[in-house]
Amino acid sequence: MAALVGRRARDVLKRAHFATVLRRHRHKKKWAATEPKFPATQLALQNFDMTYSVQFGDLWPSIRVSLLSEQKYGALVNNFAAWDHVSGELEQLNARDFVSEAISHGEPEPESGQTTTPPQASGAYSPNLRCFTFARGDVSRFPPARLGSLGVMDYYLMDAASLLPVLALGLQPGDTVLDLCAAPGGKTLALLQTGCCRNLAANDLSTSRTGRLQRVLRSYVPQDIRDRNRVRVTSWDGRKWGELEGDTYDRVLVDVPCTTDRHSLREEENNIFQRSRKKERQMLPMLQVQLLAAGLLATKPGGHVVYSTCSLSHLQNEYVVQGTIDFLANQYSIKVQVENLTHFRKLFMDTFSFFPSCQVGELVIPNLLANFGPMYFCKMCRLT
Ligand SMILES: C[S@@+](CC[C@H](N)C(=O)[O-])C[C@H]1O[C@@H](n2cnc3c(N)ncnc32)[C@H](O)[C@@H]1O
């Protein structure tokens, strides 16, 4: 009986709806047929609510609202443009270079009669990087980058937290550097800005994305500098790198594909939470272990690797690092040591919010006053 009433009510409603629409205007809404029943962004949020509420406890509601709000950018100054002029213009906007501020605040006062080794000389962070951000709570936006007088763009807009893995890599002049998953190229550009690369291999599996990387390099780095830094762009499977060029590099950046948490909550296109990509998503930690292992095998003994993701997931962050270190010890008898980044975190805690309880590495968590990240990074030294 109840079912009959329900059906009748639906019929009446249907007729009432059609009665108000002229026949020639009656059509099925196109989007109703094409729009997915469960948008991937929604599935991502459900997934994060389940896993991150356990992982982050009381911190999750504030991280969640920040992830769903507009993110903040940083302006990485192009040292190959007239950088003092660009810096002046950014200062006029009330932005500040968070890198030089952090470093000048963090430098220890030398005691009288004593000389201290500056942290930069000990490889604590890569030199010559300038990145402007607006102060905590200031949600101003940077105007788009412009072509400077030297024929290259004046700055590159990026999530300022993306600079931390490059800073942590601690480049030294004359280093041979590999950027294993490089496209679209924000971090490759930052590596070149340090002026330290004797040669730089920038690789990405995707040829369309290495095309974007090439465009970024052409727009920001003059040809003679690209030649001097011997920049080589390739589109190989990074997992094979250890076999191709083992024990070769001083510094390796392994910025792996991940669930790109912020992107997954905003964009349907290319969203890893689409149902059709479930297997790919489940296989991510495995791919990440393989890429990190390849990066470590490509490093010279004594060289350094930074592993990074833009995900909050422990499974893609700390577990991958620990799993890879165990794998290399068991399969190759290679010893890898995780480096302590506490000093590094302290340097940058005025600009970013860090998760206080990482077992290995550091994690920038989104915060409404400093809405950068997520960005996980862990620095390792290959000992043997
Ligand atoms: C997080 S993005 C890299 C972002 C880049 N480092 C930047 O700062 O602009 C991860 C990249 O890994 C690439 N990738 C996925 N699988 C790969 C593989 N097996 N080998 C090398 N690159 C891979 C993807 O095409 C994607 O561009």
Spans of all domains in the chain: 160-382
199 pLDDT tier (thresholds 50, 70, 90): very high
Q: Give 200-247 pLDDT, tens digit per residue.
A: 999 999 999 999 999 999 999 999 888 887 899 999 999 999 999 999
Atom of ligand 1 nearest to the CA of 258: 1
Q: What is the pLDDT of residue 19?
A: 39
Annotated catalytic residue 310: yes
pTM: 0.89
- Confidence band (pLDDT; 50, 70, 90) for 105? confident
Query: Is residue 30 very low, low, confident or very high in pLDDT (cuts 50, 70, 90)?
Result: low
pLDDT in tens, 45-93: 999 999 999 999 999 999 999 999 999 999 999 999 987 889 999 999 9
Pair 367, 62: CB distance under 8 Å: yes
Report which ligand 1 atom has the smallest distance to the Cα of 257. Answer: 10
Give the pLDDT band of residue 35 (cuts 50, 70, 90).
low
Tell me: pLDDT of 301 over 50. yes
Q: What is the pLDDT of residue 292?
A: 98
Decide whether any atom of ligand 1 lies within 6 Å of the 182 Cβ: yes
- Provide the mean pLDDT of the chain: 90
Q: What pLDDT is attached to residue 305?
A: 98
- What DSSP line would sit under 190-253, residue for residue? HHHHTT-EEEEEEE-S-HHHHHHHHHHHHHHS-HHHHHHTTEEEE---GGGHHHHSTT-EEEEE
Q: Which CATH superfamily is domain 160-382 in?
A: Vaccinia Virus protein VP39 (3.40.50.150)
Where is the binding site, in residues?
181-187, 204, 237, 255
Q: What's the pLDDT score for residue 27? A: 46
311 CA to centre of ligand 1 in angstroms: 14
The answer to which of 34-38, 117-121, 189-193, 269-273 has the lowest mean pLDDT is 117-121
Nearest to 381 by CA among 201, 282, 252, 228: 252
- Within 10 angstroms of residue 14's Cβ, the number of other Cβ atoms is 10
CB of 255 within 6 A of ligand 1: the answer is: yes
Look-up of token digits 């003994």: 301
- For 255-292, how does the pLDDT look when each residue is reduced to its tens digit (9 = 90+)? 999 999 999 999 999 999 999 999 999 999 999 999 99
When pLDDT is averaged across residues 190-206 and rounded to a whole number, the result is 97
Mean pLDDT of 358-381: 98
pLDDT at 120 over 50: no
Gyration radius of the chain over CA positions = 24
Mean per-residue pLDDT, 295-306? 98
345 ligand 1 Cβ < 6 A? no
